[in-house]
Structure 1
Amino acid sequence: MMQIKLGCYRVGNIWKSQQDIFNFLVSHFRFYHQMEIQDVYKLFYQGVFGSAHIMRSSISEFEEDLLEEFDQVKENSAQPLWESIHPEGKIMRIHLAAYKSKKKDIDQLSTLCIWTAEIAEKEVGSVENLSAAMDTFYRLCKSRKIPKYNPLEVDGYHKWLIDNKYPPVHHSEIYHQKYDPHYRLVHREFLPILF
């Protein structure tokens, strides 16, 4: 079922709502013009699963990787501290360069990332939501509401995802070159603890 709004209530699956997914993607295209199909998928993946994939490795490995990346990243106070990666704003990317410029506690961020992963692991229907998001993205491309992407390429990528059981992916090479992404995912409810 797609999502509909009844007054201030939402009914259905937001990942099936063309209007919500369109608005969500446009908000990201404004800052990330060079996003490729795999970057859109990564955005959906993170919005659906949060940071659940970090629980596949050990927590100590996650913490070591975060500390190492945080040490290497340069402060950037001009960068936004966070951005939403979920159509309803449930999951946020915390940008490490901006976070570092605020002299914030990296251990606290690490803990909140782990809590976010634990919450995401308990979510039901995540693969179905990811499939719905990719389906909605395909329909938006096919109808030319999002003309940037070839619908046949989107469909081909979606088939690859199905064959590979919707794996986590890295950002595209162009995304890395253009935007140098360094961030971690945190549930929106934890923002008051961080800031």
Structure 2
Amino acid sequence: MQWKLGTYQVGNAWRSQQDMFKLLVTHFRRYHLMEIQDVYKLIYQGVCGSSHILQSSSSNFEAALKQEFDGLEANNSLPLWESIHPEGKIVRVNLAAYKHQSHKIERLSTLCLWTAEVSASTKDNYDDISIALNTFYKLCKSRKIPKFTPLEIERYQKWVEENKFPMVHHSDVFQMNYTPHYRLVHREFLSILF
């Protein structure tokens, strides 16, 4: 449970069914074909941010981002960014929308690396992923999110825990229908980005 006392928030945002519901419904409205794997990816990224990019060199990350960015067509129909955390702490910056606004990829690259530094993976992150999956399970069990059965969530959560909270790609359905191209940025850095 998360409590809000004025401007202070006490508790874990991933436990709040209300906050998780709002986050998930926002994404289901835009990406109605999301599968459990995509929900898990959303949760994983919302908890861990882009910490995984620290596993490669910053020059490799920057080169891959530039290559992906150069291969994209600008698109103003996508939102520039989307929150992937119940409190809005982490956002996905859509590369095609970013390109449409003629922003520089070097600045985005720097902010992605900063985000990775401030969201480095810890054991607490895996606890938060479990908490978020439990909240997701409760939302499905209560039929507030009727798309998935509790059994489907249980099976997926078991797989996640047995595989030690792996990073995953978007589902094939998600990739075919939405062709996602984005990078994760801490929301506090958005004012530097735009």
- TM-score relative to the length of structure 2: 0.96
TM-align CA RMSD = 1.3
SS of 1:144 mapped into structure 2: coil
State the AA in 1 paired with 2:78.
Answer: Q
Residue 63 of structure 2 corresponds to which residue in structure 1? 64
Residue 22 of structure 1 corresponds to which residue in structure 2? 21
C-alpha separation between the residues in 2 aligned to 1:177 and 1:150?
Answer: 24
Segments of 4+ in structure 1 off by > 2 A?
4-10
- Give the Å deviation of 1:63: 1.0
Aligned: 1:39 with 2:55: no
SS of 2:31 mapped into structure 1: coil
Identity of aligned residues (%): 61
Deviates more, 1:174-183 or 1:57-66: 57-66
C-alpha separation between the residues in 2 aligned to 1:62 and 1:135?
Answer: 33
- Give the Å deviation of 1:9: 3.2
Unaligned runs of 5+ in 1: none
State the AA in 2 paired with 1:183.
Answer: Y
- Give the Å deviation of 1:5: 2.8
Number of residue equivalences: 194
C-alpha separation between the residues in 2 aligned to 1:150 and 1:173?
Answer: 20
- Give the Å deviation of 1:124: 6.9
State the AA in 1 paired with 2:33.
Answer: Q
C-alpha separation between the residues in 2 aligned to 1:122 and 1:184?
Answer: 17
Residue 189 of structure 1 corresponds to which residue in structure 2? 188
Deviates more, 1:2-11 or 1:33-42: 2-11
C-alpha separation between the residues in 1 aligned to 2:152 and 2:121?
Answer: 32
C-alpha separation between the residues in 1 aligned to 2:64 and 2:9?
Answer: 38
C-alpha separation between the residues in 2 aligned to 1:154 and 1:63?
Answer: 36
